[in-house]
Amino acid sequence: MAGIDHKVHVALGDRAYDILIGPKLIDEAGAILRETFPGRRYGIVTDETVAAAQLPRLVAGLDAAGLSYDVITLPAGESTKSYAMLEKVVEGLLAAKLERGDLVIALGGGVIGDLAGFAASVTRRGMDFVQIPTSLLAQVDSSVGGKTGINSPHGKNLVGAFHQPRLVLADLSALDTLAPRQFAAGYAEVVKYGLIDDPEFFEWLEANRAEIFAGGPARGEAIARCCAHKARVVIEDEKETGVRALLNLGHTFGHALEKDTGYSDRLLHGEGVAIGMVLAHGFSNRLGLAPGQDVGRVAAHLKLAGLPTRLSDIPGELGSTDVLMAAIAQDKKVSRGALTFILTRGIGQAFIERQVDPDAVRAFLDQARAS
Ligand SMILES: NC(=O)c1ccc[n+]([C@@H]2O[C@H](COP(=O)([O-])OP(=O)(O)OC[C@H]3O[C@@H](n4cnc5c(N)ncnc54)[C@H](O)[C@@H]3O)[C@@H](O)[C@H]2O)c1
Ligand SMILES: O=C(O)C(=O)C[C@@H](O)[C@H](O)[C@H](O)COP(=O)(O)O
Ligand SMILES: [Zn+2]
């Protein structure tokens, strides 16, 4: 056994679980699952790209452990987080005669994790599921915390459920087959943790970015630090009644941009978050809250990581400011009609602002489109 490099416990009472991070956990999943969940059958949900790159390792381990499983393979990409694909997964699990006590395995990035987790939450009124995240984004963010769901034509992640996984197995070697653009997109969520409330982590990222991208020991450390950060927040506020909203830094703008670009390859989620975080810092600066120097430092770091940082970096035409404002108005943080944004006083000093003037956002977006 290659073993476990890092272990993070998500202490949520009867919904508690471990995040295991190690070099070969996909190969070892069969043995781990047999020991942790004796007597279960498995429904593996994955996408075509991950099926080609990583599924053979998982099924070899399940076969060696004598476990029984069915595989549901979906098209890759954000458009898979849809009603149609939800139906396909649920019907596939039922057709495989998986019982309520059996387990769904999400093998893939955040799209598969969100969709398979949501399918698990509704199939037979709730099945357990295990996350085996294969993208950087999924290893540092989406596999942890139990937000599951799909997109609606009205907006991003508008249909879903909180449903915690029973176990997360993050295999570092899975990232060897991930496309560089996808790795960079995941890195935006890594940077997010520093920007929220950990300026020392942001500085560490400035010093270690190259090693993280090259796959040195800093990569595993970064993933473990992100998981530990997210676990702390989720333990404090599982259902986002308060502090968890900080994890949405950059997402109010980013989700509107993802909707506007049709949940397509024009803008990956992490890329929308990168632009959204720069916009959130720029907007905070315009409101007199954050120093301009910090806005520049954030944008420079994301740019060095190969990420887009401006609206004009998005290929093709964007909708009008009014269209973007209509998308922002559908954000799940809206309360009694008022916009909530995650604003900041500078790097590592984000806060939740629950009464944001839409006219100020509109004026800022008009300015940002021109730059
Ligand atoms: N639930 C949450 O808390 C949460 C947090 C952040 C993001 N998200 C969601 O996650 C999604 C984005 O996740 P993502 O960036 O992982 O996208 P993704 O799932 O589309 O994966 C990115 C691409 O990389 C491919 N891929 C994944 N792992 C691979 C591997 N090891 N080798 C080769 N190819 C691989 C996939 O096939 C896909 O084409 C968005 O829908 C976003 O809303 C959810
Ligand atoms: O876990 C959370 O909470 C987050 O906000 C993490 C985000 O990175 C993620 O994109 C999440 O899906 C966004 O949540 P949403 O509630 O705005 O859909
Ligand atoms: Zn996100």
Q: What is the pLDDT along the chain (371 residues), one digit of tens a residue?
A: 789 999 999 999 999 999 999 999 999 999 999 999 999 999 999 999 999 999 999 999 999 999 999 999 999 999 999 999 999 999 999 999 999 999 999 999 999 999 999 999 999 999 999 999 999 999 999 999 999 999 999 999 999 999 999 999 999 999 999 999 999 999 999 999 999 999 999 999 999 999 999 999 999 999 999 999 999 999 999 999 999 999 999 999 999 999 999 999 999 999 999 999 999 999 999 999 999 999 999 999 999 999 999 999 999 999 999 999 999 999 999 999 999 999 999 999 999 999 999 999 999 999 999 88
Q: What is the pTM of this model?
A: 0.98
Torsion sign (Cα): 362, 363, 368, 369: positive
The complex's ipTM works out to 0.99
pLDDT confidence of residue 222: 98
> Which ligand is located closest to the Cα atom of residue 276?
3
Atom of ligand 2 at shortest distance to CA of 158? 18
Q: In terms of CATH architecture, what is 181-370?
A: Up-down Bundle (1.20)
Which ranges in the chain are annotated with CATH 1.20.1090.10? 181-370
Q: Could you say which of 166, 209, 244, 259 is catalytic?
A: 244
Regarding the domain delimited by 6-177, which CATH topology (the fold level of the hierarchy) does it fall under?
A: Rossmann fold (3.40.50)
Active site residue 208: no
Told to judge if 266 belongs to the known catalytic residues of this protein, a careful annotator would answer no
Q: Are 103 and 129 in contact (CB under 8 A)?
A: yes
| CB of 28 shorter than 6 A to ligand 2 | no
- Ligand 1 atom index nearest CA of 157: 43
Closest approach atom of ligand 1 to CA 133: 28
For the annotated binding site for NAD(+), the residues are 110-114, 134-135, 147, 156
Residue 332: the pLDDT is 96
CATH 3.40.50.1970 residue spans of the chain: 6-177
Going from the Cα of 202 to the center of ligand 2, the distance in angstroms, rounded, reads 20
User: Which residue is catalytic, options 88, 225, 230, 301?
Assistant: 230
